[in-house]
Amino acid sequence: MISASTNPPASARALTALLASDDALQAPGIYDGLSARLVEQAGFHAAFVSGACVSFARFGRPDMGLVSASEVAETVAVIRERTALPLIVDMDTGFGNALNVQRTVRTFERAGASALQMEDQLMPKRCGHMSGKQVISAREMEGKIRAALDARHDENTLIIARTDALGVHGFDEALERAERYLDAGADLLFVEAPQTLEQMQEIGRRFGDRVPLVHNLVEGGNSPVHSAADLKALNYKIALFPASLLHLFLPAAQQLLRDLKSQGHVGEHRDRMVDLTAINDLLGAEDLLNAGKTYQYE
């Protein structure tokens, strides 16, 4: 059973308020309770439940549509139980047609999503910065957007329409689709993987004053810009850093394991590692122990 201990409508309203500010909202990618805790303690005001990172970290698989809707919903519920941060949740293609989209929206919203990002790729989807993508018709995507809007329980839950058409049919097609998706009622727009700064400038000029714009800042991706400040200057509103935590963790973990295998101990890595006490402090072990004492018999 999927449940959450915090208040999803409150987090959705908080996200709407954040989007009303002048700054570009930074949303690091998370994929479990620990990453959510780290992002919250670092002082960020929102987080992005990255479908790619859920696939990478939980299942050890590439971002190629191999994770199910129920697996993502369970992940969102686990994260929501750990944090009150607004959660922007990647729901890929909505996991099917318009009726599937409606069930996905209801399930993810109930699990604790504050905003839901849906793309116009053909199932099974793949990472937006990979070649070989395919997209559904704009008309089908418009129907899926309307279905998502009709299905949400709280009107504060935001629907983000993402188009991957630029890498398939070109920039003009991507702009046309973004226009149509906005007309269909999308709350935010996301034109994935612009190839040049000029393209991003055009997207910002055309849409930035009408609707909040979202952009992926992926290490190793094709983005011509690299910071939230760059995005703000281009009239974008949300800067997603979907895989930054994992991209840093992987080389550090690989080096540690190589040294452990060859030496039989962690060696010089020990000075850069936290210990069990630090992890328990980070995760609030003392608070849980104190809470448990209130239920003890005298």
Domains of the chain: 8-249 (3.20.20.60)
Query: Residue 172 pLDDT more than 90?
Result: yes
Q: For residue 133, give the nearest of 122, 144, 141, 117 by alpha carbon.
A: 122
Mean pLDDT of 15-36: 96
- The type of residue at 279 is I
Report the alpha-carbon distance of residue 201 to residue 221 in Å, rounded: 18
129 pLDDT band, cuts 50/70/90, is low
Where residue 240 falls among pLDDT bands split at 50, 70, 90?
very high
Q: Which of 117-126, 235-244, 271-280 has the highest mean pLDDT?
A: 235-244
Mean pLDDT of 147-161: 97
> pTM of the entire structure?
0.93
For CA atoms 55, 60, 63, 69, the dihedral sign is negative
Q: Counting beta carbons within 10 angstroms of the beta carbon of residue 176, is it exposed (0 to 12), middle (13 to 18) or buried (19 or more)?
A: middle
CA 270 from chain centre, in angstroms, equals 32
